[in-house]
Amino acid sequence: MKHWCCLWILVCCCGTAMAQDTLILQATALKKGLYKSFREFKYNNPSEAGDLVVKNRSSAAQIYLLASRNELVLRDGAGQEHKVKNYWGFCDGSHVYIRDNGLNRVQVDGYYCSYELQGVQPSRSIYNPADMTVNALNTPVRLKKVINIVTGEILELSLYNLKKYILPQDPELLAEFRDDKSKKNRLDYYIVRFNERNKPPQSGQ
């Protein structure tokens, strides 16, 4: 009897571990909360919850204060807001966001999940002869990045990184990429194709 009890506990524990190791890609629903690490995002297992809110900053604040375009705050029971520090990302229950110069929405859609880094930077000044003032011309900055759902490695989506790090895992697709005369304008296409052709392991470290 004791032997069977031990066996039952072992099976239950193993079953729980397997459930915890289910990738976020296979999750039927996203869990709301704060990701302290990539692993928590990978397995849809945020370690902290609460009244988390994304607060946007103005373009002026981004430029003159060298601040990111938004920040995450936690509202306590009294309604006071506290800036959240030292975290990997955040889920609002519907979408996932990674912390990278602010919070950026992640497309959780395959082996390589993508997101667009956004910001504002001053590029040049314009003289206004009407009132003899000089105004800064603000330029939106957009940079596409991808996250390897297995390793957590983050790469800029570029011709070099596709050829050097991503597509060598799929030699047939790499050959198509090398022969493609329009590949410079089809970076997103190759990430989508790679995700369609390659599935990550269901669980891992």
Q: How far apart are CA 72 and CA 169, in angstroms?
A: 36
Q: How far apart are CA 171 and CA 168, in angstroms?
A: 5
* pLDDT at residue 205, as a whole number: 45
* pLDDT at residue 79, as a whole number: 79
Residue keyed to tokens 């003899």? 132
Query: In whole numbers, what is the pLDDT of the chain averaged over residues?
Result: 80
* pLDDT at residue 173, as a whole number: 98
Q: Where would I find the H helices in the chain?
A: 2-20, 38-42, 59-64, 159-161, 171-179, 187-197
Q: Give the CA angle between residues 113, 23, 52 to the nearest 5°.
A: 75
Residue 81 binned pLDDT confidence (cut-offs 50, 70, 90): confident
Q: Is 83 left (phi over 0), alpha (psi -120 to 50) or beta?
A: beta
Q: Give the CA angle between residues 79, 92, 200 to the nearest 5°.
A: 150
> Is residue 202 over pLDDT 80?
no
> Is residue 16 over pLDDT 60?
no
Instruction: For residue range 157-174, list pLDDT tens digits in order.
Output: 999 999 999 999 999 999
Residue keyed to tokens 């799929």? 170
Residue 78 binned pLDDT confidence (cut-offs 50, 70, 90): confident
> Is residue 58 over pLDDT 60?
no
- Report phi then psi at 91, rounded to 5: -130, 130
* pLDDT at residue 102, as a whole number: 84
* pLDDT at residue 10, as a whole number: 45
* pLDDT at residue 201, as a whole number: 79
Instruction: For residue range 88-129, list pLDDT tens digits in order.
Output: 999 999 999 999 988 899 999 999 999 998 755 555 555 555
* pLDDT at residue 185, as a whole number: 95
* pLDDT at residue 138, as a whole number: 53
Instruction: For residue range 137-147, list pLDDT tens digits in order.
Output: 455 567 899 99
Q: Give the CA angle between residues 65, 122, 188 to the nearest 5°.
A: 105
